Chains A and B, each alone.
Chain A
């Protein structure tokens, strides 16, 4: 296929308002980070959804393998002692 000359893909993260962490909102194409930030502003904050933008080139993101989901994420399931509700304390004390 003839190369159309699309730009690289970037992932966009927005801080909705001060005090919140940046959250992934989607992706877009841009030739470089400055235009990626600008495009993210135009595409993902048309209705005032954010006060800060991160862009990350999609190609540099490393992810866990979904097939390792069991080994990676199941073990904590039986470690109930990590949760405060595991412990019995007198109801009337503020603990």
Chain B
């Protein structure tokens, strides 16, 4: 960053950040701040959009009508949250078309957790409980992020998502006290999703290249490792309440630190999945591209119709 100090506006920008003033869309901002935010918000939005697929996979097979309604509403929320976030990214000067293109060509990433398959109904509950639990831990920290539109989107999303984790927990609780087959299904799902959930917070602080600058700009408020620890501390008692075992023999309460210790995370697997070699990477992008290209004629027709029909005023606003 040493070279960038040439712009005197940068010091004023940092001073404003340090004084806890929100950055708003038309403010001057360092190009790297803008680029970092676009990358992060877009990745967040893409995660919501791609995240619809693993759970959407079970909507048509939900085993009760109540569960079907809950799941449908949840997947719908994810589309909505993707939209709030795309809007926030667009205030930084990137268009919807560019964002979609970057997702579909792999130039921007989404959370690698969604490259794992949902194999049983219990995966739906486990995603709600663990994946949404991890996401909320991360998102709560982001409600105070320095960029105004991003922070406001986060506030709205956190408010709406509070039901997601609870429904996941409730779903698993039902399985856990259900038949032996249901119980086994729940444990199997937790075994598969636990480690990928811990990876959702990103690489350890020591090897997270962009973290320091993001913290300085207050885009990021809490470090990866600290958020991960918060999540583990919150989740272990919940697992006990569910009567399910988290698949980590090293998971232990540490009296002196006041936190749970946990075993080493397989960062090689994380890198592998992030770089495209997860079980579902190709499938997720294929489905997304298919929906987008399959809808091209609809988007075009609507634009053509709008061009043909210049609209009279909607009526008096009030």
Do A's and B's CB atoms come within 8 Å in the complex? yes
A73: Cβ under 8 A from any B Cβ:
no
B80 nearest in chain A by CB position: A43
How far in angstroms is the closest Cβ of chain A from B223?
A: 29
B159 nearest in chain A by CB position: A47
* Total cross-chain contacts (CB, 8 A): 67
> What is the total number of residues of chain B having a CB less than 8 Å from a CB of chain A?
32
Given A7-B302, A32-B305, A66-B27, A1 and B101 touching (CB < 8 A)? yes
Complex CA–CA separation, A46 to B157 (angstroms): 13
Note all chain A residues with C-beta closer than 8 A to B292.
4
B314 near A33 with CB under 8 A, answer yes
Given A7-B303, A32-B306, A54-B317, A46 and B97 touching (CB < 8 A)? no
Which residues of B99-120 have CB atoms within 8 Å of chain A's CB atoms? 100-101
Which residues of B60-114 have CB atoms within 8 Å of chain A's CB atoms? 76-77, 80, 83-84, 87, 90, 95-98, 100-101
- Within 8 Å by CB of A5, from B24, B90, B296, lies B296
B317 nearest in chain A by CB position: A54
B91 nearest in chain A by CB position: A27
Which residues of A1-50 have CB atoms within 8 Å of chain B's CB atoms? 1-7, 9, 26-29, 31-35, 37, 43, 46-47
A60: Cβ under 8 A from any B Cβ:
no
Note all chain B residues with C-beta closer than 8 A to A6.
95-97, 100, 299
B312 nearest in chain A by CB position: A33
B160 near A31 with CB under 8 A, answer no
Complex CA–CA separation, A4 to B300 (angstroms): 9
- Within 8 Å by CB of B26, from A2, A33, A63, lies A63
Note all chain A residues with C-beta closer than 8 A to B77.
46
How far in angstroms is the closest Cβ of chain A from B57?
A: 22
B76 near A4 with CB under 8 A, answer no
- Within 8 Å by CB of A9, from B84, B90, B296, B314, lies B90
How far in angstroms is the closest Cβ of chain B from A43?
A: 6
Residues of A at the B interface (CB closer than 8 Å) are: 1-7, 9, 26-29, 31-35, 37, 43, 46-47, 54, 63, 65-67
Q: Give 4 new A-B contacts, CB below 8 A, not counting A28-B87, A66-B28.
A: A1-B101, A4-B97, A31-B299, A63-B26
Residues of B at the A interface (CB closer than 8 Å) are: 24, 26-28, 76-77, 80, 83-84, 87, 90, 95-98, 100-101, 153, 156, 160, 292, 296, 299-300, 302-303, 305-306, 309, 311, 314, 317
Q: List 10 A-B contacts (CB under 8 A).
A: A4-B292, A5-B303, A7-B299, A26-B87, A28-B87, A29-B96, A31-B306, A32-B309, A46-B77, A46-B80
